[in-house]
Chains A and B, each alone.
Chain A
Amino acid sequence: MTELDYSKIGLKVGLEIHQQLNTAHKLFCKCPTTLHEEYHTQLERYLRPSFSELGEIDIAALFEWQKGKKYVYRVPPNSCLVECDEEPPHIIDEEALSIAVAVSLALHSTLVDEVYVMRKIVIDGSNTSGFQRTAIISLGGYIEDNGQRIGIQTIALEEDAARKITDSPTETIYNLDRLGIPLIEISTAPDIKTPEQAERVALKIGQLLRLTGRVKRGIGTIRQDLNVSIQGGVKTEIKGVQLLELIPDIIKNEARRQYELLRIKEELQKRNLNKDIVKNSFKIVDLTEEFKDTNSKIIRKELEKNGRIYGLKIAGFKGIFGWQLMPNRRFGTEVADYVRALAGLGGLFHSDELPNYGITKEEVEKVRKILQINENDAFIIIVGPKEKLDIATNTILDRILYAFDGVPKETRAALDDGTTKFMRPQPGSARMYPETDIPPRRIDERILELSKQFVPEQPEIKLKKLIELGLSKDLANTMLNSLRLDLFEELVKKYSPKVSPTFIASTLEITVKYVKSKGGDISVITDNILEELIKYVYEDKISKDAVQEILLELATSKTQLNEIIKKYTPLNETELEKIIIETIEENKKEIENKKDKAFNIIMSKVMNKVRGRADSKKIIELIKKHLG
């Protein structure tokens, strides 16, 4: 597919960046903000849509509550009764508030005078309370990108949700460790015009946040949501982009999806179809008998569980279900996603992909005959328990009819391959009401004073400072964009000048990248490991030259750091001299033969033997001495 002309199709992108703050305490209690796998007790709860949502929620859905989904919460050491929803929240954490104020000021955003915490209803169980606490700290502002101002709409402070451990249709298990960690949420205006610009802006905001020195690092600590629309389409929310590099692809794919959905709408008009025609000729036939002896494994499995098979006729839709919307996703995939999310079925088969999946040509012909499928029609086969099939047929018809309108209002989930899938329809008006347990908080002198220490430095000034530390311009730039900038500064404070800032920076960035390029698992290279190594260098326990080798071994073998370190403990002069003398002895013949290259031969052999356990200058000195 050729790339779309984004200015022509009117691409508009807004970003919502959620970044965890590295505060001492959670947002509404005195628990620390660390994560824990272990837990001491667990709670079982059920959430129920509260009264006011009635009317928007099917009454049938309420009856479901009785056999409803169970949420299990593991209570780790860093959680108290507040996360358990057993104690009212405490007042808003001042440190988090001050950081949000500092970020607001750096983004030229106007602070509100008094902060009001709101409850935003979320009933997927990720909050024990059934709502997320969130508050706007400032409005407006901008960030520059290549001379263009990208508007900031709001900057909010909110509590992070519980961490999902496992999920099944009847039960979801969460860990409460993450619940309540402060998140800053920065929402830009839909001023971003290209996929690449979106990545740049996200990068820039991320860097600004890191320069406060108070943000968390690592997987899941920063999450980007994207709001994408093209002319004629609708604003689609895409949740949970964890990798910045994926942003352009996701936007390209979403723009393509909306573009293709609009083309489908045109195509349907061309075919002289409309909603009434499709609705009136929509046919549901129970095909269970017909598939009794099928060889399709998927269908047989459902039949064994007493499931039924329905065939649905969709007039005039030939070729539409197979229409590609983005890589690996067709219109049929979209409909199938609805069926999965809203009816709880595994998926569907459509006529554009059959025969396949063990369904034979003969079976397809039989279905066509029974459903009276004409040349231009399409059909769908769904399999499962009867109640679910009944919900699914409605879901399918609704989604198909929406093809005549174009792009439905959806919240989609970002996938690792840069595509997205349907998550849920966009909620109507925000279900928000005041968190009356928390008094409003004035942004007073005290908060403004506290926020001063967190105001992020301008990147240019920071860069200058890094260069002043002795870093090359390239390395300084790398460090400025590094997620480990704060670790770098901490290590410099502790171990330089004895260990040079350049060495620390290149260890953190260049060496780690080298290890990754050699296939090492860099997830084992934690902050603690890096600090330990720098400390060993500082204490002369290992040589600088050994650090790269050690990290490589650590990331490629399953050996513990202290085991590896043993092999790299520096040799004293006597030990080194002994090795050199031995090496010269062993290679006497070669030295005789190649007198002019003698030094090089010995040097390389000795280096191989000592592998970083001795300083190279010392080795040179000693070899020269013994070669005479």
Chain B
Amino acid sequence: MLEGYRGKALEFLSSHNVDVGDLIELQKDGLSIKGVVMPSYSKEDDIIVIKLDNGYNIGVSISGISNFKLVEKKRQNIQVSKGEQKPLKEKSEVKIISTGGTIVSKVEYETGAVRPALTTEEIINFMPEINEIAKIDAEVLFSILSENMKPEYWIKIAESAKKALDEGNLGVVIAHGTDTMAYTASALAFSFKSLTGPIVLVGSQRSSDRPSSDSPINLYSAILVAKNSPFAEVTINMHGESSDTYTLVHRGVKVRKMHTSRRDAFQSINDIPLAKVFWKEKEIKLLRDDYIKRKEENALDAKFDTRVFLLKYYPGINPEIIEYLISSGIRGIIVEGTGLGHTSTEFVDYFKKATKDGVFIGMTSQCLFGRVNMNVYTTGRLLQESGVTPLEDMLPETALVKLMWVLAHESDLDKIRSLMLTNFVGEINYRHVPEYFPRWFHDGIRLQ
């Protein structure tokens, strides 16, 4: 197959009966070029990508090529291993459930392709040190990009995790893409009424095909936590700082991806993490003792109603959007308001109508840090009078996922309100101490 090729180059290669992986030779500008045809990722349609003997790829335009010839058909089909699972010799202690992302992947230098490697064997091959800390078992649940995650997949992940714990695993590690990892964590957190062990979500900000990947340390620490931690909560375990020193175990409902690319992108908001993990010392250092302990059984109730909406308020937004949302069948809206929890007063009448129709309106803050308080300003009070529920210090995304879960269980607005304000798994923090707000850098900033 001529992967990635189209237009002129596709036509040219097909007319020469050449496939990706074939060895070809051509003349151009008096120069002879020999190499293997690679999959194209050019945005131009006249370029053939050729891997030279020295390992470099170059792009050659088909215009001006003379003496193009096929030297040799692809030597061997590069077999993508099916990831067949061998039965385990002994019972596992930690189950790794993979949902996608590249926490464990390998590069094929022949094609440059990076493909996930997810069988137990492959994971052990990737990181033999795991054998020293736990007996693992692995399962590929699905292989989707984080941005394509959906609530129906959350249910599958939850069921899979429950099964693993019911089978006697001490904890579960879920490999997940980082973009929507926090949403999944919230969904799992609300779905489990009790857990016998922790569910640790883990990912990587630098893909695992590179020597500098954060993936080995994150995965290793996650397994350590899944097996040994005293808490039985849904958590996210990722790098604690840019250096490879320790990872942080965040409570799944209080964590957010706060940077597009840094290793330490995940940080607890309005809270501190549950633990620090020093991978070198194999040490889990608990940072607090108010965690949820391991229980006798796993109780799962995973249901989500997706008829919800997350509305980010901005100056000038037309309040008619509320009417439109309701007419399209939305049952609940989480507003990401300004400051202490505001929208323009123009919204008051629209919210009043909505709540009267039984639609839940919850208020969070786009400040992210801090709690909403709708008693301080008149607007806040007006909004409350119109039926808007202030949602304490809940993160907007957490509130949204919580609402999906609540709506799948309740239809009475008062009961919905009461559930939304019930602190199930630590998603609400009633006390904020000064240390919750990060110390930003102010001194002599080095700019060039």
Contacts and interface: CB of A to CB of B under 8 A. Distances in A.
Interface of A: 31-32, 40, 43-52, 54, 59, 62-63, 65-67, 77-78, 81, 84-88, 110, 112-116, 118-121, 123, 128-131, 134-136, 139-140, 154, 156, 429-434, 436, 439-440, 442
B420 interface: no
B245 A113 contact: no
Contact of A130 (B109, B211, B244): B211
A51 B107 CA distance: 7
A114 B109 contact: no
B3 interface: no
B299 interface: no
Contacts of A120: 55
B44 interface: yes
Contact of B44 (A65, A85, A112, A114): A114
B108 to A, nearest CB: 7
Interface string B29-69: 11101000000011110010100101111111100000000
A440 B52 CA distance: 16
A119 B42 CA distance: 17
A222 B206 CA distance: 32
Interface string B106-147: 111100101001000010011011000000000000000000
27 contacts: A32-B448, A45-B212, A50-B209, A51-B125, A52-B209, A110-B29, A112-B58, A112-B59, A115-B59, A116-B49, A116-B58, A129-B210, A129-B211, A129-B212, A130-B211, A131-B211, A136-B58, A140-B30, A156-B56, A430-B55, A431-B55, A433-B108, A433-B109, A433-B112, A433-B209, A436-B41, A439-B41
Contacts of B206: 85, 129
* Most B-side CB within 10 Å, residue of A48, A88, A128: A48
B211 A49 contact: yes
Contacts of A439: 41, 43
A44 B245 contact: yes
B202 interface: no
Given A87-B261, A110-B29, A43 B242 contact: yes
Interface in B8-41: 28-31, 33, 41
A193 to B, nearest CB: 23
Contacts of B60: 112-114
Contacts, number: 156
B267 interface: no
Contact of B129 (A40, A51, A54, A63): A63
Nearest to B33: A139
Contacts of A65: 129, 216
B263 interface: yes
Contacts of A112: 58-60
B237 to A, nearest CB: 17
A50 B59 contact: no
A66 B129 contact: yes
A237 to B, nearest CB: 13
A432 B109 contact: yes
A429 B280 CA distance: 33
A307 B33 CA distance: 56
Contacts of B125: 51, 54
B4 to A, nearest CB: 11
A547 to B, nearest CB: 34
B328 interface: no
Given A44-B243, A66-B129, A140 B446 contact: no
A119 B109 CA distance: 10
A113 B49 CA distance: 10
Contacts of B216: 48, 65
Given A51-B125, A85-B206, 18 more contacts: A44-B243, A46-B244, A51-B106, A65-B216, A86-B242, A87-B260, A112-B60, A113-B61, A114-B44, A115-B59, A131-B210, A140-B30, A432-B56, A433-B108, A433-B109, A433-B209, A434-B112, A439-B43
Query: Which are the 8 A-B pairs with shortest beta-carbon distances?
Result: A130-B211, A114-B59, A430-B55, A432-B55, A113-B61, A116-B57, A51-B106, A44-B243
A119 B112 CA distance: 10
Nearest to B125: A54
B79 to A, nearest CB: 14
Given A139-B31, A433-B112, A116 B59 contact: yes
B5 to A, nearest CB: 13
Contacts of B109: 52, 429, 431-433
B55 A50 contact: no
Contacts of B47: 113-114, 440, 442
B41 A440 contact: yes
A31 B211 contact: no
Contacts of B260: 87
Given A116-B56, A116-B58, A52 B108 contact: yes
B104 interface: yes
Nearest to B443: A40
A81 B261 contact: yes
Given A44-B244, A45-B244, A433-B109, A85 B58 contact: no
B45 to A, nearest CB: 12
A400 B341 CA distance: 77
B92 interface: no
Interface string B184-210: 000000000000000000000010111
B262 interface: yes
A139 B53 CA distance: 13
B211 A110 contact: no
Contacts of B105: 51
Contacts of B126: 51
Contacts of A135: 56
A121 B211 contact: yes
Nearest to A31: B448
Contact of A51 (B55, B61, B117): B117
B128 A62 contact: yes
B261 A86 contact: yes
A339 B446 CA distance: 45
B180 interface: no
Nearest to A439: B43
A162 B200 CA distance: 36
Contacts of A54: 125
Given A44-B244, A113-B60, A440-B47, A50 B129 contact: no
A140 B29 CA distance: 10
A319 B117 CA distance: 53
A553 B31 CA distance: 56
A82 to B, nearest CB: 9
Contact of A110 (B30, B56, B59): B30
Contacts of B217: 46
A136 B56 contact: yes
Contacts of B128: 59, 62-63
